[in-house]
Amino acid sequence: MILEVKSLYKSYGEKVAVDGVSFEIGRGEIFTIVGRNGAGKTTTIKCILGLRKKDSGEILMKGSRTYLPEDKKLYRNYTVEKMLYVAEGISRYFHRERARELAKKFKLPENEKIANLSHGMLTLLYLSIVFAEDVDLYILDEPTWGLDPVVRSEVLDMIRDMAAGGKSFLITTHILQEAEKISDRVAIMKDGKFLEIDSVDSLKEKYVAVRVGLNEYLEEGYLYKVASNEKIYIVERGKVSLEYQPASFEMIFQALVRGERK
């Protein structure tokens, strides 16, 4: 066990941001929290890191860690090369040569000022710094922000390779395909709560899609879509006696987060 979170609760006045969240992450595991904007993903991470004061709950963390924030800001007047030099003095886990290799792999111009970098290049520079740290747990908040599909795929492959080498990851994202590609387990989050925690394959085994007429509804199911002549529900396999079809992870996510029944 690298990280264990028990009954984490955080509110801002009357607004509950994280509502009793519990989970754990093992060595070499990629755990991903998926949810819409405002679901509580970033607040959960910041409470774990101590960047936000939790109201209650317990956080147990073993080993070293590093953090990629959602708001990816670096010193705008520094060049790429100088930023790597500064990072070396900040973290004792940082390996500058590894960072330079990654920056070169991502085709980052070493003498360019950070202020002139695109969103995607800024993300890649931040990833070069974070991935150059030899730690036990990598906490990544929206790690592929601003990346094109090809580079995004490369970054996800790097995460999988690092996990295969024993590194652990806590990732937040709103890109479902991303979560499905790399995660060992996913948590679907809505209004500060986890609706489900499981592997994507297990979730697709648990839930199925059922089609009914426009005037029908399934009390045990979650409405996914209303078409011109039918409605599609996402239902737990063991709670339906009607004919059903497989449900994709996207269908399951949308239906559970929407939470509609009729």
Q: What is the pLDDT along the chain (262 residues), one digit of tens a residue?
A: 899 999 999 999 999 999 999 999 999 999 999 999 889 999 999 999 999 999 999 999 999 999 999 887 788 888 989 988 888 888 888 898 999 999 999 999 989 898 998 888 999 999 999 999 999 999 999 999 889 999 999 999 999 999 999 999 999 998 999 999 999 999 999 999 999 999 999 999 999 999 999 888 888 899 999 988 899 999 999 888 888 999 999 999 999 999 887 6
Examine the domain organization and report whether 133 and 224 are in the same domain. Answer: no
* Structure confidence at residue 239 (pLDDT): 86
pLDDT of 92: 83
How far apart CA 32 and CA 183 sit, in angstroms, is: 6
d(CA 74, CA 190): 30
Return the pLDDT at 220. 85
pLDDT of residue 146: 83
Q: Is the dihedral of CA 147, 78, 111, 82 positive or negative?
A: negative
pLDDT value, residue 74: 81
Q: Residue 208: its pLDDT value, please?
A: 96
Shared-domain flag, residues 15 and 133: yes
Instruction: Note whether 105 and 179 are same-domain residues.
Output: yes
Q: DSSP secondary-structure letter at 174?
A: S
Predicted pLDDT of residue 12: 92
> What is the rounded distance in angstroms from the CA atom of residue 223 to the CA atom of residue 35?
18
Residue 247 structural domain: 201-258
- Asked which of 149, 165, 199 is the last residue of a domain, the reply is 199
In this structure, the answer to whether residues 173 and 225 fall within a common structural domain is no
Q: Are residues 89 and 108 in the same domain?
A: yes
Residues 146 and 173 in one domain: yes
pLDDT of residue 153: 94
Residues 102, 223, single domain; the answer is no
The owner of tokens 């710094």 is 129
CATH value at residue 195 = 3.40.50.300
Residue 242 to residue 18: CA distance in whole angstroms: 37
> Which one of 157, 177, 199 terminates a domain?
199
Q: Are residues 87 and 183 in the same domain?
A: yes
Residue pair 119/151 in contact by the 8 Å Cβ criterion: no
Burial code (b: 16+ CB inside 10 Å, e: under 16) for 68-91 equals: bbeebebeeeebbbebbeebbeeb
pTM above 0.85, yes or no: yes
The total of structural domains in the chain comes to 2
Q: What is the pLDDT of residue 262?
A: 66
Residue 87: per-residue pLDDT: 85
Residue 224, H or E segment: strand 222-226
> Is there a single domain that holds both residue 236 and residue 163?
no
Q: Are residues 125 and 160 in the same domain?
A: yes
The answer on 220 and 139 residing in a single domain is: no
